[in-house]
C-alpha cells in the first residue's frame, strides 16, 4: 500500500526559507523509474509542478522557481525534502508530494499541507 | 514558458457525455495525463499516457490525443463526477519541465 505524507510549518514569514518533508511508504526510491515530485496549489487556483527527484539522484525544477528550490532525498528514511527560499505571500498554497513513475505519472498523492506566508 | 490550455468550465446534463480539451504545442510528441480533483481533496490520476486508464478508474473515463489537442471524455456523467480536471504534460526540453493546464470545472446539472 503506497502512502505519502507531507509535513512542515503551517505558517512562515516573508523572506524565510520553507522546508517541507515528504515521508512515504509502500515503494522504494531506489527502484529504477521511481521518482517523487512536489506540486503546489494556491487557494482557488490551479496546480503547479515544482520539482522532481529521481531514483538515480537526478533533479529537475520548474524553470520559474529553480533559483529558489532545492529537492533532496534521504533514501534510508524514505523521505524527500523540498526547500524554498525567500518565501512571499504569493507562495501561500497547499503543497503536495506525489509518487512519480517514469518522471511524469503522479499515481499516488499525499493529502497536502497548507502553508501560509504572512508576517 | 510552455503552457497547456484548458477551457475554464464545461457543463453537461446528467447522463450526457462531457469532453474536456487540453491544447499544447508539444502534445504531438508528449503524453498527456489527466487528474480529477474534488473539492478539498488531493488530485487523482484518471488517465495516463493519453488514453490508459489506471486500475480502479471507471470505464466511463477515456482519453485521446490528436495533434496538439488531448481530450478527456466522461461518458454518462453524473453529479459525482463534478470536479476540477487538470491535464499535465512536459515540454520539448531535454530535461523535465512539467506543466499543468489551468484546470476545467465540470458541472453536471
Q: What is the pLDDT of residues B6-23, one digit of tens each?
A: 999 999 999 999 999 999
* Structure confidence by residue, pLDDT tens digits, B37-59: 999 999 999 999 999 999 999 99
pLDDT at B94 over 70: no
Quote the pLDDT of residue A102: 79
For residue B70, the number of C-alpha atoms closer than 13 Å in the C-beta half-sphere is: 31
Contact B45 A64 (CB under 8 A): no
Contact B89 A104 (CB under 8 A): yes
pLDDT at B93 over 80: no
Output the CA torsion sign for A2, A92, B90, B101.
positive
Mean per-residue pLDDT for A44-57?
Answer: 95
B90 — contact with chain A (CB < 8 Å)?
yes
pLDDT at A105 over 90: no
The shortest C-alpha distance from A39 to chain B (Å) reads 10
B44 — contact with chain A (CB < 8 Å)?
yes
Query: Strands B98-100, B104-108: parallel, antiparallel or unpaired by DSSP?
Result: unpaired
Nearest by CB to A46, from B33, B44, B102: name it.
B102
The shortest C-alpha distance from B83 to chain A (Å) reads 13
Cα-based distances in Å from B34 to A71, B16, B43, B69 = 25, 20, 10, 13
Confidence band, pLDDT 50/70/90 cuts, at residue A95: very high
Cα A6 to Cα A35: distance, rounded to the nearest angstrom: 16
Q: Is B58 exposed, middle or buried (0-12, 13-18, 19+ CB in 10 A)?
A: exposed
| Cα–Cα nearest to B79, from B20, B12, B21 | B12
The shortest C-alpha distance from B18 to chain A (Å) reads 20
> What is the secondary structure of B5-16 as a DSSP string?
B--SEEEE-TTS
* Structure confidence by residue, pLDDT tens digits, B25-39: 999 999 999 999 999
| Cα–Cα nearest to A105, from B9, B23, B49, B61 | B49
pLDDT at A53 over 80: yes
Quote the pLDDT of residue A75: 86
| Cα–Cα nearest to B6, from B16, B14, B27, B17 | B27
Confidence band, pLDDT 50/70/90 cuts, at residue A69: very high
B33 chain-A contacts, CB cut-off 8 A: 104-106
Amino acid at each position: 500500500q503506497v502512502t505519502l505524507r507531507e509535513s512542515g510549518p503551517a505558517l512562515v514569514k516573508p523572506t524565510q526559507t520553507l522546508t517541507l518533508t515528504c515521508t512515504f511508504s509502500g515503494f522504494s526510491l531506489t527502484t529504477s523509474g521511481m521518482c517523487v515530485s512536489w506540486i503546489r496549489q494556491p487557494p482557488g487556483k490551479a496546480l503547479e509542478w515544482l520539482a522532481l527527484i529521481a531514483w538515480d539522484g537526478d533533479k529537475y525544477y520548474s524553470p520559474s522557481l529553480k533559483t529558489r528550490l532545492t529537492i533532496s532525498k534521504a533514501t534510508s528514511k524514505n523521505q524527500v525534502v523540498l526547500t524554498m527560499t525567500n518565501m512571499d505571500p504569493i507562495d501561500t498554497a497547499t503543497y503536495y508530494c506525489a509518487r512519480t513513475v517514469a518522471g511524469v505519472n503522479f499515481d499516488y498523492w499525499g493529502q497536502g499541507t497548507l502553508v501560509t506566508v504572512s508576517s | 514558458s510552455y503552457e497547456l490550455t484548458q477551457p475554464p468550465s464545461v457543463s453537461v446534463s446528467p447522463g450526457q457525455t462531457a469532453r474536456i480539451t487540453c491544447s499544447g504545442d508539444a502534445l504531438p510528441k508528449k503524453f498527456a495525463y489527466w487528474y480529477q480533483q474534488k473539492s478539498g481533496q488531493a488530485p487523482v490520476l484518471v488517465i495516463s499516457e493519453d488514453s490508459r486508464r489506471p486500475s480502479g478508474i471507471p470505464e466511463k473515463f477515456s482519453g485521446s490525443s490528436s495533434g496538439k489537442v488531448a481530450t478527456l471524455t466522461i461518458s454518462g456523467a453524473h453529479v459525482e463526477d463534478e470536479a476540477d480536471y487538470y491535464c499535465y504534460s512536459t515540454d520539448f526540453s531535454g530535461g523535465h519541465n512539467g506543466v499543468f493546464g489551468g484546470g476545467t470545472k465540470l458541472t453536471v446539472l
